[in-house]
Amino acid sequence: MSTFIAACRRQPVEHTPIWIMRQAGRYLPEYRELRSRVDFEALTHKAELAAEVTIQPLRRFELDAAILFSDIMTPVQGMGVDLFFDPGPVVRNPIRTDAQIDALPQLVPERDVPFVLESIKLIRPELPRGAPLIGFAGGPFTLLCYLVSGKPSKEFGIARSFLYSQPESAERLLDHLADAMAAYLGAQAAAGAQALMLFESWAGLLAPREFSRFALRAVRRTMAALRKRTDVPLIYYVNQGSALMEVVADLDVDVIGVDWRSPLSQVSRVLGPGKAVQGNLDPAALFAPPGELERHADLVLQEGRAAPGHIFNLGHGIWPETSPDAVARLVDHVHASSSKGRR
């Protein structure tokens, strides 16, 4: 079993596995080169290109997992929602009425996003070192933020006020997205994805009460459906969720991913012995001078030893300005340092 899957399952590992959120992307010269010729949407819609970009970072670095190159909005486009990327997703007709919610079709992945499933099949046999492939989707609430607000925003005021002004409509939309993402992730696992991750990038916008009522209720629905369909590890990434760990502790997933704001030992203490943790170096730490970066990585490793399983990652996506050399140093250091202090 790969170190990544073993850590997800809270089993012993010979070194702490590491992968990096947004590891395929603009900090890589080979991505920028391809991207200068092909726009982002075409990259996500052409199976061969998405497969190539997925594999790029694994050729360069000894990463322990690959993540499918796609976007959280790709299946939403597959449901017929008209949107474009600039660089974040912009929805041409934001969804704010019951009529619009009721008109959303259910996602049939094989019909609506066949290129995603095709790229998974292309990627699997090409992955170096038998690295496992992570499939992913957006958390229903994070998708709602973009669908209702219509564009990226710091506070997503329009989406948040929608929860209060039209709570039943919000729940209907979330249920629909929860079922669509269950179908989407289930199809990814059937096509060959070896772990599934749900990104709740905007979790931190909500207080625990609203997070439970809206975001978590929908995620439970997605994860429960997936547990019936597949036995691959399930990961829930909760960005800016330090105040939400109590309420996610009883969610039926294998791994909780967190941002850099709370130490992993503290996170794990709240989550308990049934959850592995993923994270949580500040992406800004990759700008520290050599020696310092390694010291920051060691602090994360040390915190991670308090958890029953630890997958090293950044607390959020890598920045486009990051030097690939810093990434190489980080990956090699995490492997060397964690295999010395074997768990």
Active-site annotation, residues: 22, 26, 35, 71, 146
Q: Which stretch binds ligand CP3 (CB under 6 A): 83-91, 171-179, 207-215, 270-278?
A: 83-91
Q: Shortest Cβ distance from residue 340 to ligand CP3 (Å)?
A: 29
- The verdict on 26 binding ligand CP3 (CB under 6 A) reads yes
Distances (CA, A) of 221 to 93, 113, 227: 27, 22, 10
317 binds ligand CP3 (CB under 6 A): yes
- As measured in angstroms, the least distance from the Cβ of 62 to ligand CP3 is 16
Sign of the Cα torsion 124, 130, 131, 137 reads positive
Cβ within 8 Å of residue 100, ≥6 positions away: 93
Contacts of 161 (CB under 8 A, 6+ apart): none
**204 interacts with ligand CP3 by CB under 6 A:** no
The residue length of the chain stands at 343
198 binds ligand CP3 (CB under 6 A): no
Question: Residue 85 interacts with ligand CP3 (CB under 6 A)?
Answer: yes
CB of 69 to ligand CP3, least distance (A): 5
Instruction: Output 10 or 146, the one with its CB closest to ligand CP3.
Output: 146
Cα(34)–Cα(49) distance, rounded to whole angstroms? 9
β-sheet bridge partners, residue 137: 198
Q: Which is nearer to ligand CP3, 21 or 104 (CB)?
A: 21
Site string for ligand CP3, 55-74 (x = CB under 6 A): ------------x-x-xx--
87 scored as a contact of ligand CP3 (CB under 6 A): yes
Per 3-state DSSP, the chain is made up of helix, strand and coil in percentages (nearest 5) of 55, 10, 35
292 versus 321: smaller Cβ distance to ligand CP3: 321
Q: What is the DSSP string of 322-337?
A: --HHHHHHHHHHHHHH
Whichever of 76 and 183 has its CB closer to ligand CP3, that residue is 76
According to the binding rule CB under 6 A, does residue 220 interact with ligand CP3?
A: no
Does the protein bind ligand CP3 through residue 84 (CB under 6 A)?
A: no
Bridge partners of residue 235, in order along the sequence: 197, 255
Q: Please give the residues from 249 up to 308 whose contact with ligand CP3 meets the rule CB under 6 A.
A: none
- How many CA atoms lie within 13 Å of 178's alpha carbon, on the beta-carbon side? 19
Query: Alpha-carbon distance 255 to 212, whole Å?
Result: 18
**Quick check: helix, strand or coil at residue 313?**
strand
- How far apart CA 190 and CA 115 sit, in angstroms, is 14
For 287, counting Cβ atoms within 10 Å of its Cβ (0-12 exposed, 13-18 middle, 19+ buried), the class is: middle
The two structure tokens encoding residue 90: 């912009």
Max Cα-Cα span within the chain: 59
If one asks whether residue 234 binds ligand CP3 (CB under 6 A), the answer comes out as no
Q: Tell me which of 25, 94, 186, 263 binds ligand CP3, using CB under 6 A.
A: 25
From the list 23, 56, 169, 322, which residue makes contact with ligand CP3 (rule: CB under 6 A)? 23
27 binds ligand CP3 (CB under 6 A): no
> If binding is defined by CB under 6 A, does position 24 make contact with ligand CP3?
yes
User: Would you give the binding string for ligand CP3 spanning residues 111-150, x where CB under 6 A is met?
Assistant: -------------------------x--------------
Of 85-93, 157-165, 177-185, 306-314, which segment contacts ligand CP3 by CB under 6 A?
A: 85-93
Q: How close are the terminal C-alpha atoms of the chain, in Å?
A: 17
- Using DSSP's 3-state secondary structure scheme, residue 209 falls into helix
Residues that bind ligand CP3 (CB under 6 A): 21-26, 35, 40, 67, 69, 71-72, 85, 87-89, 136, 152, 199, 201, 239, 317
